[in-house]
Structure formats: structure tokens, C-alpha cells
């Protein structure tokens, strides 16, 4: 196999650098959105996930038994979110409320918010969701040990 020309290699490097810069920018925007959501999305107009301006319901991000943080979601996003919450690690969802389980499920819920929002707002939210899921998984392993 032959190597790409220097010009082609330079173009790849430039494109990669630009893609990294754009992703970093998108992750920064997603992080700001997530911090706002973690404060309960004050002043939200419509669904925090899809942006629908229709009727909203308050959704418990960590689950009703594990946290007080609620954010407004349209009926469709709320149903999808809740159905996915029920698929979390069963012993986590069913266990009695404790600071460790509350923190872990809040982290997982925030990750899920990012995952769901990425359907409409793309890469930065998906990348942030992956990072939060990794933190959740690492925390889950520590509490199981």
C-alpha cells in the first residue's frame, strides 16, 4: 500500500483539527444546557429535550424515589425518558434511597437527558452523554465493590 501524499495528510490533519474544535464547542454548549437543566431549567418554555412548545409535564431526572430535580418535558419525551429509566440497573432503581444511589441515578438521568436531546441537537450532547455514562458506570462499579 502506498502512503497518502503530504498534501493529503496535511488536509486530513487540518480537517481533524477543525472537527475536534467544533466538537469541543458543541460539548461546551451542551454542558451549559446541562448545567441549566440541572438547576431545574428555570424559565424553560416548552420541553427541555425536543424544544416542543406544547403541553409539558415535570419529569424527575433521577426517578421519583431518588431525587427532587424535575425538568419540563413534552408528553412524548417524558414517556420515552421514563421507559428508559425503568431499564437502568434494576438493583439501583429498586434499592432504598441513599445518598450514593441518589447521586448515581441523578448522573445517569442527566446522561439520559443529553442522549435524548442529541436526537435534535447533535454531536455535543451525544459526546457529553457518553462521558456521563462512563462516569456513572465507574461510580456503579465502585459502589458495588
Query: Which 3 state secondary structure label does DSSP give 113?
Result: helix
For residue 7, is it within any domain?
no
* d(C-alpha 124, C-alpha 127), whole Å: 5
pTM, full prediction: 0.79
pLDDT in tens, 109-122: 999 999 999 999 88
For residue 139, is it within any domain?
yes
State the pLDDT at residue 3.
65
Structural domain boundaries, residue 72: 41-144
Number of structural domains the chain divides into: 1
Q: What percent of the chain has pLDDT over 90?
A: 50
For residue 9, is it within any domain?
no
For residue 102, is it within any domain?
yes
State the pLDDT at residue 39.
95
pLDDT in tens, 35-68: 999 999 999 999 999 999 999 999 999 988 888 9
State the pLDDT at residue 35.
95
Amino acid at each position: 500500500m502506498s502512503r497518502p501524499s503530504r498534501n493529503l495528510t496535511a488536509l486530513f490533519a487540518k480537517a481533524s483539527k477543525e472537527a475536534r474544535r467544533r466538537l469541543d464547542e458543541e460539548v461546551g454548549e451542551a454542558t451549559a444546557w446541562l448545567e441549566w437543566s440541572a438547576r431545574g431549567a428555570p424559565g424553560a418554555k416548552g420541553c427541555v429535550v425536543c424544544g416542543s412548545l406544547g403541553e409539558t409535564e415535570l419529569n424527575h431526572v433521577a426517578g421519583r424515589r431518588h431525587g427532587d430535580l424535575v425538568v419540563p418535558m413534552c408528553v412524548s419525551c417524558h414517556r420515552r425518558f421514563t421507559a428508559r429509566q425503568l431499564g437502568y440497573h434494576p438493583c439501583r432503581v429498586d434499592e432504598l434511597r441513599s445518598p450514593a444511589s441518589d447521586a448515581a441515578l441523578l448522573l445517569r438521568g442527566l446522561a439520559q437527558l443529553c442522549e435524548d436531546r442529541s436526537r435534535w441537537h447533535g454531536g455535543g450532547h451525544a459526546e457529553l452523554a457518553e462521558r456521563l455514562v462512563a462516569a456513572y458506570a465507574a461510580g456503579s462499579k465502585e459502589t458495588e465493590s
